[in-house]
Structure 1
Amino acid sequence: MLINKKQFDVTGLNYTIRCAVKEDAKDLSQVRLQIDGETENMDREKGEGFIDISGFEQIIKTDLEKQRNLFLVAEVDDKIVGFSRCEGTYLNRFSHKVEFGVCVLKDYWGYGIGKNLLKESIGWADSIGIKKITLNVLEKNNKAIQLYKSYGFETEGILKNDKKLSDGKYYNTILMGRFNE
C-alpha cells in the first residue's frame, strides 16, 4: 500500500517519511542489522534473523501489493535512518487488524522519527478501515510504552519472562493494542 511522502523538521533535523521502494532493499538490510546491534529493545541480536537484499525486495514488493500492509522508511539526506511496518493477515477473522513494528538508528532517537512513523501508520490504518493495530514492546522500554499509550494503545497482556537480555535477566513483553471503533 502507498501513502504520500511527508517532510518533517524536528529540533533542526529535516527528514522524510515515505513508502519503501525496491531500491531501498540494500540500505534496509544494513540499517536493520545496525539497529539490532544498538539496542536490546528489538527481538533480535545483531546478525540474527538477517534479511538480505533479495529478502527485503520481496517484503517491499509484497507490502506494495497488499492493501493491509504498509512499509515506511524515514530518510535524512537520502539515508534511511529508520523504518516501520504494518502487516495484516488475510484470514477473514483477523482481517480487521494489523501488527505494527518500528525501529530507528540510535543516532536519530529524540527527533520524533518513531512517533511520526507511528502517526503515519495510524492515519493510514484509520483511512482504510483497519480497526485494530497491535504491537509488542519490551517492559523496560518506558519511552515507547508512554508514546503508544499517548496514541490510544492499551496493555492487552503480558508475556512473562519472555526475553533474556545481556544482563542475564528475564524481561516481560507487553502486548498492546489500539482499537478504532
Structure 2
Amino acid sequence: MVIRSKLLLEALRARVEYYLSQQLTGSNIQVPEPHHFLLHHRKELMQALGNEPTLRVSGIPHHIPDKETIAHIRVLLAFLDAKYLRRIEEEESRYKKSPPTATFEMMWMLLKHGTRVYNDVDGELAAFVVKSAETDKTSNPSYYSVVLWSLDFNALHALSSKDYGFRPQKQDMGNTGYQSYFSIPA
C-alpha cells in the first residue's frame, strides 16, 4: 500500500513515536502487507476520531484533525478493519485469558516497535525494548526475526547498549497453535 494523502501522512507523523522499519518522510510512504505498522498505530488513529479537543503524544498536545483529515483516517481504518479486525479481536480475547495466550500468526501484535518487554536472563527479569520484528515475508510465515535492545547501567550512568536477537519459530508454538505468551521461546 502506498499512502499519498498529505493529511493522512501528517496524522501518522503526529502519532508515531518510533518504528524502525517504517520510513515516514517524503511525499508518500509505502506500507507492505500485512500492514503491521498501520495496525500497531490503529488505536492512535482511532483517538483522532474522538471528541477530545487535543491528543497527547509524548506529553505534547496535538489538535484533533479537521473534517477532511478525519475522513481520510476513516477510509484507512475501514480498509484495515475489513481485512484484519476480526482476527485482532479474537487475538485480544486470548490475551484476557488466564494465562494469556497468543497465536503465532498474530504474535506481531505483541512486538510493536518501541514497546517494553521483559524476559528472563540468567534467572533475573530483564527489561528490553522491541527494536524490530519482521516475518519471513511469505503468505504463511514460519518465523519472526526479533531484535530487542537494552541498556546496561549502574546506579548513575548508562554503561552500554546491547542488541539481542531471537527467532521464534511457528513449530515452537505447540500443537494447539497458541500458547501462554509468557512462555514464547526467546
TM-score, with length taken from structure 1: 0.27
Decide which structure has the larger Cα Rg and report it: 2
Greater strand share, structure number? 1
